[in-house]
Amino acid sequence: MATARRPRQLDDLITIGQGRVRTAPLDVTDDAQALAAVEQTIAEFGRIDVLVNNAGHGSVGAVEELDLAELRALMDVMFFGAVAVTKAALPHMRAQRSGAIVQLSSMGGQLSMPGFGAYCSAKFALEGLSEALAAEVAPFGVRVLIVEPGAFRTEFGGHRMHRSRIIEDYAVSTASTRAAVDAMDGAQPGDPVKAARAILEALGSTEPPLRLALGNDAVDHLTAHHELLRAELARWEKLSRSTDLD
């Protein structure tokens, strides 16, 4: 079952699927539509084996440059929308004692950078919730896979990337991010087809990971970030440990 706010956008997928693909309208910010899409899936297929939460778009701008209404709208889609669809599917997965939930996060779900505060905040929230969810549903045979892609050849850096108003003072910290976003459109190193195959391979594993980084850039950036975190923790360990009651 493929979903979109405008299902006509999925006509090519229906053709490629040769009768195996069904579509349903879904605006993830509409709780009723989330429930309806799940119920339609159950009615047509009898069960849900894998749920993939992939709705969202990019956003670039310093925190002060962000419009709060736009930030709330982004969180509604990328965090609360994913939660709504997940909650709609969970009763069925729990009842059938099987299933997998794939949360499309980002390497930005573990690390943030100037200009990506809004986007990364949504991904951080999704990962925090999903890590707890994974432990909660494991006893029912339901798995959670958090996918953390780097830059893949999609429309992420193109017209779907929201750009906040510019405050000139922040050019010193975010101009390079804005320039990189503009430059990467159509030049991303990641292959979406290979990403899909990697996700399927992970789902088919007898010991699947909780998190799956995709792309050399994601692995390199996450490795460097973890090393920085470990170094900072070690540097301040004595002070950190000094705060318990005597």
Q: Where are the alpha helices (DSSP H) in the chain?
A: 11-17, 31-45, 68-75, 81-96, 117-137, 171-184, 192-203, 216-235, 237-240
Catalytic residue among 106, 121, 123, 170: 123
Distance between CA atoms of residues 77 and 89, nearest Å: 17
- The answer to whether residues 59 and 38 touch, using CB atoms and an 8 Å cutoff, is no
Is the distance from CB of 55 to CB of 82 less than 8 angstroms?
Answer: yes
Indicate if 123 belongs to the active site.
Answer: yes
| SS3 at position 53 | strand
- Residue 110: in which H helix or E strand, if any? none
**To which H or E segment does residue 158 belong?**
none
What lies within 8 Å, CB to CB, of 5 at 6+ separation is 25, 26, 27
Nearest partner of 187 among 153, 164, 217, judged by Cα: 153
Catalytic residue among 105, 121, 130, 164: 105
Gyration radius of the chain's alpha carbons: 20
Using CA atoms of 212, 214, 217, 219 in order, give the dihedral in degrees to the nearest 10.
30
| Active site annotation includes 170 | no
Is 105 annotated in the active site?
Answer: yes
Catalytic entry in 59, 106, 119, 164: 119
Instruction: Please identify every residue annotated as catalytic.
Output: 105, 119, 123
